[in-house]
């Protein structure tokens, strides 16, 4: 039978192995850090960021903006949830709708408008506001689908990933869009007069 090692020798033999285990462990980041990084990367790979809840709009109101031809919708004293603006001039007059919900760069989606006797869908894309990417769509002022915004009754505006925004009934959106259309109408009429249809 082989002689059993002396107890005094055991700590000296185990010490190098223990030191090696400690050194290897010290080289690894905490497990939680690694999990956080992997989860974050997985979320980015899944697609556009999503608002988990739709904002409450019971106390939200429409108000004039400091910029002419623009109105905003939101809680008094807070950042707006939505804005509608009349932009452009001449033949290029647009109604611009901005949903102030953060999204991913160059994301594309569809905005659904349900209410005022209308159910319509409009394309909407991510736009760089200088401080982040938001949802923004520009539409010809004469686009009949915008009629959904001109009624004075409640309207639901939904963008996948940005939730549903319940817009309280107000005459302000309709007044702005109609004013924007009047700017574009003289241009169309003038073009018809300059190029009358053949007899």
Q: Do 25 and 71 belong to one domain?
A: no
Q: Residue 74 is encoded by which pair of tokens?
A: 């939101």
Q: Do 137 and 168 belong to one domain?
A: yes
Q: Do 23 and 79 belong to one domain?
A: no
| pLDDT value for 173 | 97
Q: Do 18 and 114 belong to one domain?
A: no
Arithmetic mean of pLDDT, 61-67:
94
Q: Do 25 and 93 belong to one domain?
A: no
The per-residue pLDDT of the chain, averaged, comes to: 78
| pLDDT value for 49 | 58
Q: Do 67 and 15 belong to one domain?
A: no
Question: Is residue 54, in this structure, part of any structural domain at all?
Answer: no
Confidence band for 185, pLDDT divided at 50, 70 and 90: confident
Q: Do 83 and 158 belong to one domain?
A: yes
Arithmetic mean of pLDDT, 75-103:
94
| pLDDT value for 186 | 66
How would you write the chain as a 3-class SS string? CCCCCCCCHHHHHHHHHHHHHHHHHHCCCCHHHHHHHHHHHHHHHHCCCCCCCCCCCCCCEEEECCCCCEEEEECCCCCCCEEEEEEEECCEEEEEEEECCCCCCCCEEEEEEEECCEEEEEEEEEEECCCCEEEEEEEECCCHHHHHHCCCCCEEEEECCCEEEEECCCCHHHHHHHHHHHHHHHHHHHHHHHCCCCC
**Quick one: which of 94, 120, 99, 88 has its CA closest to 177?**
94
| pLDDT value for 67 | 93
- Identify whether the C-beta of residue 84 lies closer than 8 Å to the C-beta of residue 149: yes
Question: Is residue 52, in this structure, part of any structural domain at all?
Answer: no
Question: Is residue 2, in this structure, part of any structural domain at all?
Answer: no
Q: Which has the minimum average pLDDT: 1-5, 13-17, 94-98, 173-177?
A: 13-17
Counting the structural domains of the chain, the total is 2
Output the domain CATH number for residue 158: 2.60.40
Question: Is residue 71, in this structure, part of any structural domain at all?
Answer: yes
Question: Is residue 56, in this structure, part of any structural domain at all?
Answer: no
Question: Is residue 90, in this structure, part of any structural domain at all?
Answer: yes
Q: Do 38 and 66 belong to one domain?
A: no
Q: Do 16 and 81 belong to one domain?
A: no
Confidence band for 156, pLDDT divided at 50, 70 and 90: very high
Q: Do 68 and 147 belong to one domain?
A: yes
Q: Do 42 and 66 belong to one domain?
A: no
Q: Do 93 and 118 belong to one domain?
A: yes
Confidence band for 84, pLDDT divided at 50, 70 and 90: very high
Distance CA 84, CA 82 (A): 7
| pLDDT value for 6 | 53
| pLDDT value for 88 | 94
Question: Is residue 120, in this structure, part of any structural domain at all?
Answer: yes
Arithmetic mean of pLDDT, 14-23:
46
Confidence band for 184, pLDDT divided at 50, 70 and 90: confident
Its domain, for residue 23, covers: 9-46
Question: Is residue 3, in this structure, part of any structural domain at all?
Answer: no
- Tell me which range, 19-28, 51-60, 84-93, 105-114, is most confidently predicted by mean pLDDT: 105-114
pLDDT tens figures, 25-57: 444 333 332 332 333 334 344 445 555 568 889
Arithmetic mean of pLDDT, 45-72:
80
Q: Residue 97 is encoded by which pair of tokens?
A: 């709708």
């Amino acid at each position: 039978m082989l002689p059993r090692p002396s107890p005094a020798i055991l700590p000296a033999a185990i010490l190098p192995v223990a030191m090696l285990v400690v050194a290897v462990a010290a080289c690894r980041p905490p497990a939680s850090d690694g999990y956080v990084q992997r989860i974050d990367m997985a979320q980015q790979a899944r697609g556009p960021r999503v608002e988990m809840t739709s904002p409450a709009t019971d106390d939200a109101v429409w108000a004039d903006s400091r910029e002419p031809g623009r109105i905003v919708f939101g809680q008094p004293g807070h950042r707006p949830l939505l804005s509608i603006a009349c932009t452009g001039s001449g033949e290029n007059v647009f109604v611009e709708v901005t949903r102030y919900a953060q999204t991913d760069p160059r994301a594309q989606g569809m905005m659904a408008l349900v209410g005022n006797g209308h159910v319509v869908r409009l394309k909407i894309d991510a736009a760089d506001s200088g401080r982040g990417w938001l949802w923004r769509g520009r539409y010809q002022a004469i686009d009949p689908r915008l009629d959904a915004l001109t009624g004075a009754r409640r309207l639901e505006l939904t963008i996948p990933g940005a939730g549903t925004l319940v817009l309280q009934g107000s005459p302000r959106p309709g007044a702005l869009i109609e004013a924007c259309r009047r700017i574009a109408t003289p241009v169309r009429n003038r073009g018809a007069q300059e190029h009358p249809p053949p007899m």
